[in-house]
Amino acid sequence: MLARAALARPTSPSVGPLAVPSALQLVGNTPLVEIVKVRDGVMPGVRLYAKLEGFNPGGSVKDRPALKMIEDGLATGRLVPGKTILDSTSGNTGIALAMVGAALGYPVELVMPGNVSAERKKIVAAFGAKVIYSDPLEGSDGAIRLCRRILAEAPERYFKPDQYNNPANSLAHYETTGPEIWRQTEGRVTHFVAAIGTGGTIMGTGRYLKERNPAIQVIAAEPEDAFHGLEGLKHMASSIVPGIFHEEELDRKIGVATDPAYDLVYRVGREEGLLVGQSSGAALLAALEVARTLREGTLVVLFPDLGDRYLSTTLWLGWSKPGGP
């Protein structure tokens, strides 16, 4: 009953026309902002816009798939009262699941590598979720493996959204992120650039946009090697490839290095007034590489979260170094 009320779309608001019935109705409809200064040789005929997913209530793009996967679990009867939501996550999905679980009254358990940022651990705890740490040296794949073992021991206890293989992950973006970008650019978008973790964002958004206009180029930004400092992102060649990721649907994949991605994060903070996370820097690096080859176009780059989530990580070291960027 509680779950149904929280998930309901507002019909006749009881408080006022601008109030929504729960935090869940704040997921999506994030702003699109033009990048006006960090353009590095991009021609004036090329417009560059960032979709600010840090404006979601859980603070990242992951609120969309978390909500969709849980809605799907409830609709299909795989998530029922008495079950616990369990998943492996490099951070943002965990926060999103914890937020949605809290709003709906379902307990949440999360397996994450021991080295995720202190902010993430604390935010998840603040939403009341239980965290199980996997070996930091094994990265997100280690969390996936440990989560599988926990589930195998008591499958009846858990609902596992399984963001890496759940079509509801990319569907969330097909149904929301894609249409929002189409509307916000009034159909003018020519290129969509996003960094890849599960691939849900690029797959779902890319599919929607290509359905509207097959000429739209869908471009993924990927860490250029296995050892990188781009939390949330995956180097596919050295990882367990997510079941929902279909590389053949992309027009292009661009490898990005950690240091130049961090430098862009610092510049976007100082020059655009936008404090974003490192994967936003990675996506912008790829977007600028594409933009510099064009005479005209409308590029949309997705910024998955905000920078204050990373103040205790290596990202901040370069930022705060004396006389630094």
Ligand X SMILES: Cc1ncc(COP(=O)(O)O)c(C=O)c1O
Coil, helix or strand for 48?
Answer: strand
Distance CA 273, CA 26 (A): 23
Catalytic: 68? no
Find the binding residues for ligand X in span 76-115 (CB under 6 A).
90-93
Q: Of the residues 88, 90, 170, 279, which is catalytic?
A: 279
277 binds ligand X (CB under 6 A): yes
Among 232, 281, 297, 307, binds ligand X (CB under 6 A): 232
- For the chain, first and last CA: distance in Å? 52
CB of 170 to ligand X, least distance (A): 8
177 binds ligand X (CB under 6 A): no
DSSP 237: G
200 binds ligand X (CB under 6 A): yes
205 binds ligand X (CB under 6 A): no
Chain centroid to Cα 29, Å, comes to 14
CB of 111 to ligand X, least distance (A): 14
CB of 92 to ligand X, least distance (A): 4
Amino acid at 79: L
Q: Of the residues 62, 68, 160, 234, which is catalytic?
A: 62
Cα dihedral sign, 248-254-259-265: negative
Among 198, 217, 239, 258, binds ligand X (CB under 6 A): 198
Distance CA 39, CA 84 (A): 46
54 binds ligand X (CB under 6 A): no
Element (H, E) at 287: helix 278-291
CB of 100 to ligand X, least distance (A): 15
Distance CA 207, CA 199 (A): 12
Among 42, 95, 111, 196, binds ligand X (CB under 6 A): 196
Element (H, E) at 254: strand 252-256
Catalytic positions are: 62, 279
Binding site for ligand X (CB under 6 A): 61-62, 90-93, 195-201, 231-233, 277, 279, 304-305
